[in-house]
Amino acid sequence: MGEENRVLKRRHLIFYLEVYDDQSGELVGHVVDVTTKGIKLVSKNPIPDGKLFRLRMALPEGYFAERELRFAAQSLWSDNDINPDFYDTGFALQDAMDPKTAEVLATLINQLGFNDSP
C-alpha cells in the first residue's frame, strides 16, 4: 500500500506490544505502529500477503482492564525491515471488530501513541 493511499496517520506506541496468532498461539510479531484501520508488525519471518489472521495483542499492564485484545486482520504486504534480520508486514483490521475492541484500540492509540509518521 503506497503512502499516497494512507488516510490515517500511523501512531507509534510507547510499548513494543506482542501479537500472537490466536489459533496457534505462536508469536506473529511486535507492533511497530497502529491506526484504527491497520497495524504494522515487525517479525523474524516473512508473512504471506493476503492471509486472514485471528490475532491476539497483549496489552500493557496497568492501562486496561483487559489483558489482551483479539481481532481479525488481513496481511497486505511484507518486506524487509531496515534491520535485514527482520520483516515488516502491514495488516488491515477487519470491519467486524466489536465495539469494545474498537474502543480499547482507540484508547491504546490515543493514550499510548507518541509520534505521528508522515
80-83 LR contacts (CB < 8 Å, sep 24+) = 81/42
Q: Is residue 27 part of a domain?
A: yes
Instruction: Decide: pTM greater than 0.95.
Output: no
| Interstrand relation of 52-58 and 68-80 (parallel, antiparallel or unpaired) | antiparallel
**pLDDT category of residue 117 using cuts at 50, 70 and 90:** very low
Q: Is residue 86 part of a domain?
A: yes
Q: What element of type H or E holds 62?
A: none
Q: Is residue 64 part of a domain?
A: yes
| Interstrand relation of 52-58 and 38-43 (parallel, antiparallel or unpaired) | unpaired
If DSSP codes are grouped into helix, strand and coil, which group holds residue 47?
A: coil
Which candidate, 45, 55, 42, 31, places its Cα nearest to that of 88?
A: 42
Q: Is residue 17 part of a domain?
A: yes
Q: Is residue 95 part of a domain?
A: yes
Question: What CATH number corresponds to the domain at position 21?
Answer: 2.40.10.220
Domain count, the chain: 1
Cβ(9)–Cβ(35) below 8 Å: yes
Q: Is residue 46 part of a domain?
A: yes
Q: Is residue 2 part of a domain?
A: no
Write out the residue range of the structural domain in which residue 68 sits: 8-113
pLDDT digits (tens, 9 = 90+) for 37-90: 899 999 999 999 999 999 999 888 777 888 899 999 999 999 998 999 999 999
Q: Is residue 3 part of a domain?
A: no
